Amino acid sequence: MPQFKEANLEVNLDEIKHLVSERAIKGETMLLNMGPQHPSTHGVLRLLLELDGETIVNCIPDIGFLHTGIEKNMEAKSYQKAEVMTDRLDYLNTVGNNLAYCLAVEKLVDLDVPPRAQAIRVILTELQRIASHLVWLGTSALDVAAMSVFLYCFREREMILDIFELCSGQRMMTTYFRPGGLWRDVPVEFEDAVRRFIDYFPKRVDQYEALLTRNPLFLDRTMGIGKLTTEQALQYGVTGPPLRATGLAWDLRKVRPYSGYEQYDFDIPTRTEGDVYARYLVRVQEMRESLKIVRQALEKLPYGPVRSNNRKYVPPPRSEIGVDMEALIHHFKLWTEGFHAPKGAVYAAVESPRGELGVYLESDGGTKPYRVHWRTPSFDNLQVLPLLAKGHLVADLVAIIGSVDIVLGDVDR
Amino acid sequence: MEEKLQAIVQALKEKFEAQVEEFRDEVHLLLAPEHLITALTDLRDRHGFEMLVTVTAVDYWPQTKPRFHVVYQLRSFSKNLVLSLRVPVDGDEPTLPTATGLYANANWREREVWDMFGIRFEGHPDLRRILMPKDWEGHPLRKDYPLGYEEPQFTFNFDEIDLSKPRARK
């Protein structure tokens, strides 16, 4: 048993000298820690702030408190088993992470997905997008002291989580999408439950908007705060709603469709201001657009299988195992050794509620991924925070962090 | 390969003697480390690749030449294209020039590659560890770094394990 040496975790000025201004070294400005235990940092984010009075001179984010080594762990598991970890990355977009991973594996081994599975994937991913935006709306409104919105948002989110529970047995960590399709078909109650939600929800969005969109207190806190231009956004790799709030209509569902998004008719909401308020408007509008997609997908939900018939990669159904020797062999092979993926590297990207979520997957021909890299949107979106925060008050920083919508599980992986 | 990409790849191939690999409609360009910055500058300014999507690395240990491939994933918004550059680097303590002057988000991405793989980026303004604690030894995503586990604490080994947790006892 090795003896761990005593760690020196104190921050000293020498290490961060190049990140703060001259005045901090002379002692004219104050260095202040915000987080990691601060309610409005949305998790365990630590910000080292250099303050001149209450104005932010420099903001130095410190991340890694939630680093779980998922990329390393996935290298030690077979392709199917590694998927369980993907839910834990961005815990507000669990089915979206599953989707990105499944798309990468399907691309790597060249696997088909039946139309019914694709449509169900789209429905659930869009519901997840609404659920994620609801958490964002609730918590970021709470950050600027609008308490009631938080309670309403979580009430509606619970309806979506109930739908997930109906399909997969889990509210959040579903692992419902599998390479080649879904774990199993949706239950009969599914369509009614989704229909109930899409009939009920539009009125609720109107209600949130009635509470916030023209609320003078909310406008004071959000308009003109944390401005970002399109050039800066591209320079910093910012994607998702913060990018669309600068005026660039860029959505991977439209420009590089996957999972059959090309069949659905929806708009990409954009604003040109690029401030906290613009990001709010874009996300609220996105909830309505997602609802449109869900409605269309549900209307023309095709019948048929939900898993690919390619037995080399997808386990056979339970009913076949008892009667078919070959199915039993495939089942045994797939759940012990796993499947061999061809040698090569692929990059699959989806539009998560936060931006471009990409999976870089490399295989050496074995049964385990040789390297999985997650290009997580929160990581790059957080990086632009010092730029957004400069010159604002500490109270505005709280609104800015809320508007960027980071999930620390997504940042630290 | 898409037609628009074909021309760009051809131009880079001739200029930098790059190797082109295609897999599942994705294009990987293998470049020598000395051409990296000129190639990235060309791609950004002349071919419209405005965004550096991600920087990552792959460890091919125990192979040493090259031991790592550093992967730069680029995206063009104006032409709707993706391209990945792969730069092979040799040895256990490799270095590469930094791309922070070209793409601002290379800052954290390169810090992550340094933290996880121990690849140094020359000229990087702030090359500190980013995900691991600052006093961490080793680079976790290297293949010669063991996965590791924590031994469960039972009555028979309670004291022995407790000794190794000075911070928890404090």
Contacts of A347 in chain B (CB under 8 A): 26, 73, 82, 84
DSSP class of A19 = G
A107·B51 Cβ contact <8 A: no
Contacts of A370 in chain B (CB under 8 A): 58
Calpha distance A134→B90 (Å, rounded): 48
pLDDT for the residue numbered A1: 42
pLDDT for the residue numbered B64: 80
pLDDT for the residue numbered A205: 92
Containing H/E element for A381? helix A377-383
pLDDT for the residue numbered B167: 64
Strand partners, B20: B29
pLDDT in tens, chain A (413 residues): 444 455 555 566 777 778 888 887 777 888 888 878 777 777 788 888 888 888 998 898 888 888 888 999 999 889 988 999 998 888 899 999 999 999 999 999 989 899 999 999 999 999 999 999 999 999 988 888 888 889 999 999 999 999 999 999 888 888 899 998 898 889 999 999 999 999 999 999 999 999 888 889 889 888 888 889 999 999 898 999 999 999 888 899 988 899 889 999 999 999 998 899 999 999 999 999 999 999 999 998 999 899 988 888 998 888 888 898 999 999 998 888 888 999 999 999 999 999 999 999 999 988 999 999 999 999 999 999 999 998 899 888 988 998 988 888 888 88
Q: Nearest CA of chain A to the CA of B85: how many Å?
A: 12
How much is the pTM? 0.90
Residues of chain B with pLDDT under 70: 166-170
pLDDT for the residue numbered B168: 63
Q: Nearest CA of chain A to the CA of B4: how many Å?
A: 15
Containing H/E element for A72? helix A70-74
Show me where the domains of chain A are located: 1-65+382-394+409-413, 71-308+341-375
pLDDT for the residue numbered B46: 87
Calpha distance B78→B84 (Å, rounded): 17
DSSP class of A147 = H
For residue A74, with 0-12 CB atoms within 10 Å meaning exposed, 13-18 middle and 19 or more buried, which class applies?
Answer: buried
Containing H/E element for A119? helix A115-143
Q: Nearest CA of chain A to the CA of B14: how many Å?
A: 24
Strand partners, B120: B95
A380·B131 Cβ contact <8 A: no
Nearest residue to A278 (alpha-carbon basis) of A308, A322, A243: A243
pLDDT for the residue numbered A206: 92
Q: What is the CATH number of domain A71-308+341-375?
A: 1.10.645.10
DSSP state string for B30-69: E--GGGHHHHHHHHHHTS---EEEEEEEEE-TT--TT-EE
pLDDT for the residue numbered A8: 56
Q: Does A358 touch chain B (CB under 8 A)?
A: yes
